[in-house]
């Protein structure tokens, strides 16, 4: 008997592994039912669904060139038309987030009567970096002066 993709056959479970079950088909050939093809729902342990020696109806899913036969139990079950998969429930709509507050310089420009059309770009990246470095140097200098005078550093008198 030739085995063709799409045909439904009766078989007998001959072996069970953690990844599926081997089913002996008419004619003496053996195919594999992958664990994902055993039932419509999630199968954690295949032993809860099948036992060695069970008679099962299978559908031939694929036949590879090297003779391996892929089978499915869940596709062999005849279902009424239109109930291939249960309809997915709609997600409840998320509450709308409040608008993010605008940046301070933008709100100042808008309050001065300047709209988005007349928006002038802010300082460039290089300008921001140079301003940061200048402020940082000033802070470090001030901090160094304060700590040196407390420790009795360079210009402090020793007495």
| CATH code where residue 29 lies | 2.40.50.140
Predicted confidence at residue 119, as pLDDT, reads 64
Quick check: is 20 in a domain? yes
Number of structural domains found in the chain: 1
pLDDT more than 90, % of the chain: 45
Quick check: is 39 in a domain? yes
Quick check: is 53 in a domain? yes
Compare 25 and 104 and report the one with higher pLDDT. Answer: 25
Compare 12 and 151 and report the one with higher pLDDT. Answer: 12
Quick check: is 67 in a domain? yes
115 confidence band (pLDDT: 50, 70, 90): low
In the chain, what is the straight-line distance between the N-terminal and C-terminal CA atoms, in Å? 111
Which H helix or E strand runs over 56?
strand 55-63
Mean of pLDDT values over 29-44: 91
Quick check: is 38 in a domain? yes
Quick check: is 52 in a domain? yes
Quick check: is 121 in a domain? no
Closest CA to 53 of 16, 28, 18, 17: 16
Strand 20-24 relative to strand 8-17: parallel, antiparallel, unpaired?
Answer: antiparallel
Weakest mean pLDDT among 59-63, 121-125, 151-155:
151-155
Output the pTM of the full model.
Answer: 0.49
Quick check: is 28 in a domain? yes
Mean of pLDDT values over 1-20: 89
pLDDT at 118 over 70: no
Phi, psi (degrees; rounded to nearest 5) at 60: -80, 120
E strand map for the chain? 8-17, 20-24, 30-34, 55-63, 69-72
What is the residue range of 65's domain?
8-72
């Amino acid at each position: 008997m030739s085995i063709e993709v799409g045909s439904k056959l009766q078989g007998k479970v001959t072996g069970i592994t953690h990844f599926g079950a081997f089913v002996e088909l008419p004619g003496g050939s053996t195919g594999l039912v992958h664990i994902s093809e055993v039932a419509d729902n999630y199968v954690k342990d295949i032993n809860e669904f099948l036992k060695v020696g069970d008679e099962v109806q299978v559908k031939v899913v694929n036949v590879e060139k090297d003779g391996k036969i892929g089978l499915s139990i869940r596709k062999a079950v005849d279902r009424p038309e239109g109930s291939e998969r249960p309809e997915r429930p709609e997600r409840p709509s998320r509450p709308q987030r409040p608008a993010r507050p605008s940046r301070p310089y933008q709100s100042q420009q808008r309050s001065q009567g300047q709209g988005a059309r007349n928006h002038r770009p802010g300082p460039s990246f290089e300008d921001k970096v140079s301003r940061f470095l200048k402020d940082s140097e000033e802070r470090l200098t001030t901090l160094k002066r304060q700590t040196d005078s407390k420790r009795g550093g360079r210009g402090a008198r020793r007495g």
